[in-house]
Chain A
């Protein structure tokens, strides 16, 4: 008798939707010579001094567990970094935790705060993991869409209308994946006021903060009265090109960080030690590499933005991260159909906007974390494809 495995899968896991990104990955992987703009990670390899520091830690025999919350040295450096870069102060001893990527920080933050049925507001289009992470933590994700007319910026009225007595928190991502939208201080202030008025908590995903190209970046936590209401989440994946190292962190009010540390302690123990030593080096001497990468992304942002404008694909100008989110509504196709046809006909992989939530329909996410050579060719192919659809 064959085993009915479905009987064993927990209902809340069974109910999760498979990621739309996965489907595209499967499709693109079967094809050769694809130019991929579907990649949500840097095209740089990790700066050499970071790799070297990690080697060195292994040679020195630092191969054992670290403190649950991470190496004290690393927490101190994170705290210094947050203070000097974003003017927010966190005590390394009990207000900072080193995690396995920002992904784990999001997971344990949600698990630490949610009771079954608590609602968490998610601003779409957004990173694919938020809604499922909320569900897995027993919460209920409530989506608030943003619109291209507003540059995909969250409108305070729309946020307010989604708040219910069950709302506990909101997840904000600034700059945003997939739209590249960056909110400045003036745009964040009214949101902060609402947060306070409704007594909510903010999970502020600032993993792309270093990759912002316009006005000075403002950390949500630095806004008036927000530090006590914010769990700041960030990491090394994007700014230091360290996605495979799986290293991130959270900083916030001591009680919340301690609650998160409990979960972390029983499920993960600690983040990988050699990666933590790499991160120490990244914070100590990685600033020039980050600056170099940011400059290169900004040049590419400028290039792809003008290329899409010339194609007549209306788009918002990304202020940060390494994504652009042009409209494909002109073609009359769904984003999914567009992405699939583009992949098959022109061998360019992009991610359909619908993957990032309902309000992403009609758009595609293109990552410009790819060489100028590849970008130039990709833009040529997309242009040809769009012209064919319109003919």
Chain B
């Protein structure tokens, strides 16, 4: 990956919808070169998709809760943690799964409409997996920052004077 390709990736990471013409100007490549690079990233699965960061708490009429669940498991001989991780990440309610060092093994983020819906998922689906030893559920009360983006930050917070030396 050369410097300009990395620069394109950084721009796309911040704004997946950035116009190729604009990217081309910013990194000093032709539009064709940028398009080719993006195609390559997609084929190589460096770019997995383009998602949108939504602060759902700002959306009226939407209800939803997110929980972070610490999961302790018994690793399976020969398979380690991968098998149980897969059994967990296949559930559509599960948004993220990470293998962790420390006091527990898997960190699982689950989204649901209500707290009781998430609780039911944990007690009925997650805890009942035979390799799962224990779960600790933490509900997210407020998101301050997510994926590097500070929520609630005013886009128009330029405090500079309109003209200065």
Contacts and interface: CB of A to CB of B under 8 A. Distances in A.
A307 B24 CA distance: 12
A40 interface: yes
A213 B158 CA distance: 25
Nearest to B161: A25
Interface residues of A, number: 29
A352 to B, nearest CB: 11
Nearest to A305: B25
A25 B28 contact: no
A43 interface: yes
A38 B161 CA distance: 9
B164 A25 contact: yes
A307 B25 CA distance: 9
Contacts, number: 57
A39 interface: yes
Interface string B67-93: 000000000000000000000000000
A28 interface: yes
Interface in B146-164: 158, 160-164
Interface in A141-193: 177
Contact of A129 (B27, B161, B163, B165): B165
Nearest to B157: A45
Contact of A39 (B7, B25, B162): B162
A28 B162 contact: yes
B14 to A, nearest CB: 10
A41 B160 contact: yes
B161 A29 contact: yes
A349 B160 CA distance: 13
Contacts of A29: 161-162
A311 interface: no
A35 to B, nearest CB: 9
Nearest to A129: B165
A36 B165 contact: no
A308 B28 CA distance: 15
B96 interface: no
A39 B164 contact: yes
B22 A376 contact: yes
B133 interface: no
B164 A302 contact: no
B26 A40 contact: no
A159 B143 CA distance: 59
B25 A41 contact: no
A300 B22 CA distance: 10
Contacts of A129: 165
Contacts of A370: 158
A21 B160 contact: no
A36 B163 contact: yes
A-B residue pairs, 3 tightest by C-beta: A38-B163, A299-B26, A28-B162
Given A34-B162, A43-B160, A299-B27, 9 more contacts: A25-B163, A28-B162, A29-B162, A41-B164, A128-B165, A177-B165, A299-B7, A302-B28, A372-B22
Interface of A: 19, 21, 24-25, 28-29, 34, 36, 38-41, 43, 127-129, 177, 295, 299-300, 302-303, 306-307, 349, 351, 370, 372, 376
28 contacts: A21-B165, A25-B162, A25-B163, A28-B163, A29-B161, A29-B162, A36-B160, A36-B162, A36-B163, A39-B160, A39-B161, A39-B162, A39-B163, A41-B160, A43-B158, A127-B165, A129-B165, A299-B7, A299-B27, A300-B26, A302-B25, A302-B27, A302-B28, A306-B25, A307-B25, A351-B163, A370-B158, A372-B26
